[in-house]
Amino acid sequence: MVYNNPFSLEGKTILVTGASSGIGKSIAIACSQMGGTVIITGRNEERLQETMNQLSGSGHSAISGDLTDGEARHRIASLTPALDGVVHCAGIGHTKMCKQIEESDLQTVMGINFNAQVLLQKELQCCKKINKKGSIVFISSIAVTKAIVANAVYSASKGAITSYANCLQLELAPRQIRVNTVHPAMVWTDLIYNSVLGEEELKADMEKYPLKRYGNPEDVAYLVVYLLSDASQWMTGNHIEITGGYR
């Protein structure tokens, strides 16, 4: 008896943005481990190659480029083969008190966390690169609903992409293309390693989590793999928190 594994990504081609580090890198690796063919993008060619070296299987490719640049977005969309899945993971963090926010902060954070993703998605659709019954995943944040001091611009950018996803899922539903967002709490990425918090402060903060730890990039990656797989065929328009129990 042949068993069909609905969680497998065999035969699927997945584009992962922001794949040169952190959550995006882990998503790309996990997709390859589950049999998917992965197209990765990022600004740093050297780090992008490091991700390529860790992918399982063959047939993968890397396309470097800055998603805030219109020509780069068009080139990436043009070079990308037909896709069964897209993971929009490129993004940056930002910390500044509301009274200190400058117009340049808004332009930078929204430009990367919102504008670039929306406009890349447009390019992919205009180039007809997303297959029927495909899956699109945006990496948002628990910051959308959990207010943190000095996190306003970042939270707003993630709230914007979540609202955008709500509309996109309705527009793509006729082609059975699913759109979901993932909302992690604190995950061990460069955003934490480069933060101003000391070791003791981080330990104290982790005590607020029922599971007593921050997430690892792999924790988020495995959820994304599920959303890309046929096992989640009846899921669209969902905003899924993955938080270690933190509320």
Catalytic residues: 154
Residues 6+ apart with CB under 8 A from 48: 19, 20, 40, 41, 42, 62, 64
The rounded distance, in Å, linking the Cα atoms of 246 and 146 is: 10
The rounded distance, in Å, linking the Cα atoms of 139 and 161 is: 9
CB-CB contact of 217 with 158 (8 Å): no
Q: Which of 188, 176, 173, 178 has the alpha carbon at shortest distance from 221?
A: 188
Total count of residues recorded for the chain = 247
CB-CB contact of 236 with 180 (8 Å): yes
Residues 6+ apart with CB under 8 A from 235: 178, 180, 227
The rounded distance, in Å, linking the Cα atoms of 35 and 31 is: 7
CB-CB contact of 55 with 25 (8 Å): no
